[in-house]
């Protein structure tokens, strides 16, 4: 693919988006019926604003979902300390709720507009951001082209590229260069990620480390935590968190395999809580007694599974245990962030498919803070062993905590890299009268 074909492909993508525009509304309505869109705010996805644009400098941050939102929280707080307004867009209902609980009125939240020219133009014309900062690896061609056309700097922070994504972009190198070269700055998680972005056409690229190491532990309601701890009593607990289809059944199988010996309570926290009805039915089919957080069910001595089907309460669930299996790694691929459980004093178990979080897992495995399991049988043995061997569990917890401490520092490195773009906005913000415009 030469550069001319790359330009043609980008034009074709843009035209396809225009053609698909009439079908976007019924598609979003369908997603809303599945709980994947906010029905009341779906017009934001077409670039229609639901809040006033404040006067003065404004930086647009975008995070695709929960993990990226969590990574951006400390950076957003640093930008807000400089009196620069922040517009945060996210793509999921869960991440919108996380924005509300973690950042509140510190940011203006909107759902990210569809990557269609009419939606993006409407969005950018209204919000007129001074810079656009995105997290990790999302690439939206129309958005990137429109930002470049308006001379708005595009910056990628906490940047990473999985093996799969990098291989796919390499197969279309001219197309990749046409997009990645539009980034004004890339702040990568690791040397490997930095080299991949350079290979695809980005420049300059610097390395900061993983911003997730600088995030605060997820909060929880202290009274609620105390209530559940009293209900659980002296029972041992373990958690399967951020689970995908098939991993809830694996957790139920593990519970049945060891409960006669350990009498444990198993916590299951699905990555997508809207699947909770199906998960409960499946677990009941395994002769397991289920209590659900969304129903405020009481955990009794007979409860086998506590199903964490609520949004934004990971801090609660992780504080109820000292042992966590992190999902999207056994029956699904890519992995989920293992740093939150390590941060909250959990020994970490995971399946082998964790390529999206390779560096974090490598650090945990080298330190002894995490273990990789190959199948359900191995998971059952590991859970049983760590529940009955307190010293081994505590060794893993301590090792994981040390990894978290060693990983801190990415925030300050990222802020330093952003200074050429942020410092002029800081000066403007200090000179700007504090009032809003519609």
Closest CA to 61 of 131, 117, 138: 131
CA distance 312 to 115: 27
Closest CA to 409 of 243, 273, 244, 207: 207
Closest CA to 299 of 245, 229, 348, 361: 229
Give yes or no for a contact between 161 and 87, defined as CB atoms under 8 angstroms apart.
no
Give yes or no for a contact between 361 and 384, defined as CB atoms under 8 angstroms apart.
no
Closest CA to 268 of 255, 285, 257, 259: 255
Other C-beta atoms lying within 10 Å of the C-beta of residue 315: 18
* 247 included as an active-site residue: no
Tokens coding 163? 């093996």
Peptide bond into 204 cis (omega under 30): yes
Other C-beta atoms lying within 10 Å of the C-beta of residue 55: 13
Helix then strand count (H, E) for the chain reads 17, 14
CA distance 204 to 197: 9
Listing DSSP states for 341-410 in one string gives HHHTT-EEEE-S--GGGHHHHHHHHHHTSEEE--SHHHHHHHHHHHHH-HHHHHHHHHHHHHHHHHHTTH
Which entry of 68, 247, 248, 340 is annotated as an active-site residue? 68
Tokens coding 298? 């009481």
CA distance 375 to 353: 11
- Active site members: 68
């Amino acid at each position: 693919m030469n550069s001319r074909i790359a330009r043609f492909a980008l034009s074709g993508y843009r035209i396809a988006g225009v053609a698909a525009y009439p079908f976007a509304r019924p598609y979003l309505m369908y997603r809303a019926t599945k709980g994947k869109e906010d029905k009341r705010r779906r017009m934001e996805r077409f670039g229609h604003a639901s809040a006033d644009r404040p006067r003065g400098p404004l930086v647009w941050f975008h995070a695709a979902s929960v993990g990226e939102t969590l990574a951006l929280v400390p950076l957003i707080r640093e930008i807000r300390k400089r009196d620069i307004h922040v517009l945060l867009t996210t793509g999921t209902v869960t991440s919108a709720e996380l924005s509300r609980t973690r950042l509140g009125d510190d940011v203006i939240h909107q759902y990210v507009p569809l990557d269609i020219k009419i939606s993006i133009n409407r969005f950018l014309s209204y919000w007129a951001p001074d810079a656009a900062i995105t997290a990790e690896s999302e690439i939206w061609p129309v958005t990137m082209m429109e930002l470049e056309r308006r001379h708005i700097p595009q910056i990628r922070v906490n940047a990473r590229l999985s093996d799969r994504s990098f291989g796919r972009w390499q197969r279309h190198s001219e197309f990749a260069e046409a997009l990645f070269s539009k980034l004004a700055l890339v702040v990568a998680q690791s040397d490997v990620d930095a080299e991949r972005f350079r290979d695809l056409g980005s420049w300059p690229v610097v390395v900061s480390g993983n911003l997730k190491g600088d995030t605060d532990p997820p909060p929880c309601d202290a009274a609620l935590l105390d209530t559940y701890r009293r209900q659980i009593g002296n029972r041992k607990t373990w958690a399967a968190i951020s689970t995908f289809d098939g991993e809830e059944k694996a957790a139920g199988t593990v519970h049945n395999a060891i409960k006669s010996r350990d009498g444990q309570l198993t916590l299951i926290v699905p990555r997508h809580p809207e699947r909770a009805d199906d998960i409960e039915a499946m677990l009941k089919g395994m002769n397991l007694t289920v209590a659900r957080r969304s129903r405020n069910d009481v955990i009794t001595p007979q409860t086998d599974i506590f199903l964490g089907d609520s949004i934004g309460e990971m801090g609660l669930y992780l504080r109820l245990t000292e042992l966590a299996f992190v999902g999207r790694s056994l029956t699904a691929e890519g992995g989920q962030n293992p740093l939150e459980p390590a941060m909250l004093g959990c020994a970490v178990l995971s399946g082998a498919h964790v390529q999206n979080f390779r560096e974090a897992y490598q650090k945990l495995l080298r330190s002894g803070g995490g273990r990789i399991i190959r199948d359900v049988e191995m998971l059952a043995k590991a859970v049983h062993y760590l529940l009955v061997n307190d010293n081994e569990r505590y060794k893993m917890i301590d090792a994981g905590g040390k990894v978290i401490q060693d990983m801190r520092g990415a925030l300050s490195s990222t802020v330093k890299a952003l200074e050429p773009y942020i410092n002029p906005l800081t000066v403007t913000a200090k000179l700007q009268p504090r009032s809003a415009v519609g």
